[in-house]
Each structure stands twice: as structure tokens, then as C-alpha cells.
Amino acid sequence: MPANLHPCRISPAALAVLTWAVAGIVMMSLAADPPASDKRPAELSGKVVAVHDADTITVLAGRQQYKVRLAAIDAPELSQDFGRKAKQALSSKVFGKQVRVETAGRDRYERVLGTVQFLPSVVKVTSRA
């Protein structure tokens, strides 16, 4: 053990490193949990207004658009084999439909991650009298 260190003391350099490490951990934890105003809703309902590829859609909820990455789906990219066919298949199922999205956080591109459910459509029935 060096002569200038006491067994119960930390060197100034080690203390500086420890201080910066703790500050970094605090900053990362604050960044991981944004203020309530920045959080995505736990659930959103709206109309699918765009299909970007086979696993990403845009939902218009009120006046706000949300880019939604379908959770637990691994689909080919547009440039990969069957990528365009996969997008067409998803589009034929969801485009223009009313959906509910149960959100599960965000991905690295800040898209909402979620499970999409169709909302029942309202059918108007009129009678001729």
C-alpha cells in the first residue's frame, strides 16, 4: 500500500471518479423516466392513417399522431425479400380502421411500442317507413 494513503481514506482522484460515476447514474435515471407531460399514454385509441412497413403504423388519436411499432412482431424490412408484400398485408388489415393500442414503452427510435386491437365498428341501421 502506498505510504500516502490511509486504509480508510480515498485518494482525491478516486473520489473525483466516484463522484462523476454517481452523477452519471443519477442523470441516466432521470433521463430514463421523462416528466409526466412527456410520457406516452398507457393506452390510445384512434384511426390508422399510415402504414410505414410491416411492423410500423401511424395512429391518429384526437389531434395527435403516434408512430406505433407493433410489439412482438418481427417482419421483413421493405428492402428485404417479401418486405413489400408484408407491408401490403398489414395495410389491407389495418389502414383506415379504428384501433386501440396498449402501449409498452418506446423503442430506440422513440416510436410507441404497443399491441394493436381493432375497435368494433359502428353500423348505422336505418329503416324506411
- The C-alpha cell of 59 is what? 395512429
Question: C-alpha 28: how far from its chain's center?
Answer: 18
- C-alpha distances in angstroms, 110 versus 59, 60, 67, 113? 15, 17, 9, 9
Sequence-ordered list of residues with C-beta below 8 angstroms from that of 70, at least 6 positions apart, any chain: 55, 56, 57, 114, 115, 116
The residues pairing with 34 across neighbouring beta strands, listed in sequence order, are none
Show which residues are catalytic: 69, 77, 111
